[in-house]
Amino acid sequence: MKPIAIANLLRLLWVGVVTSSAAGAEPAGFPYRLPDQRPDRPLSAAMERLYDEYLAPTPEANELYSTFKFTPLNGFDYRNGDGTVTRRDPSKVIRVGGKYYVWYTYRQTETPPRGAAQGTETVPSTDWDLAEIWYATSADGFTWQEQGVAVPRPPRPHPGWRSVSTSDILVWQGKYTFIWLCSLLLW
């Protein structure tokens, strides 16, 4: 279990076992809510770990906490999620001359992946099999236009004939360095 999930679970357990000896008095066993500061009294081993080993007792108190906002992108067709088209492993998005660029692993096949035993030269064995590096551009970062192949698969038997994937780009001192992986599977 992740630390944040454990913290939330402990918080719920702590809230559920409140006991108090008098109305209005501080709870005798556990406090009603998980305090941000470590209480000055003996704690269970689980509560010791909560305060000693995790970044914060609750996700909201963690300095790395943020709210994530999902915004769908326009311009990419996935054939209604039938598994025959995949885009994955995007590079960093860079902006050059007022236009955004991104490179990614792209596979478009007649069938979804079927596993290693059923993989052929036209049937992918995995999601990244029979893939190439494609790229897309955007004026605003939300609506994209696919530009096509950036790095094609070489012909068999050259390294990468099965797949090229997982691209990235590094921009440093006005120069662009593009990297990717190639599959060395032997079929």
**CA–CA separation, 46 vs 20, rounded Å?**
21
Report percent pLDDT > 90 for the chain: 47
The conformation of residue 60, written as its DSSP 8-state character, comes to G
Report percent pLDDT > 70 for the chain: 71
Do the beta carbons of residue 48 and residue 57 sit within 8 Å?
Answer: no
Q: Which residue has the higher pLDDT, 84 or 27?
A: 84
| Tens-digit pLDDT profile for residues 98-140 | 999 999 999 999 999 999 999 999 999 999 999 999 999 999 9
| Tens-digit pLDDT profile for residues 22-40 | 445 554 555 456 677 788 8
**CA–CA separation, 72 vs 60, rounded Å?**
26
β-strand partners of 164: 182
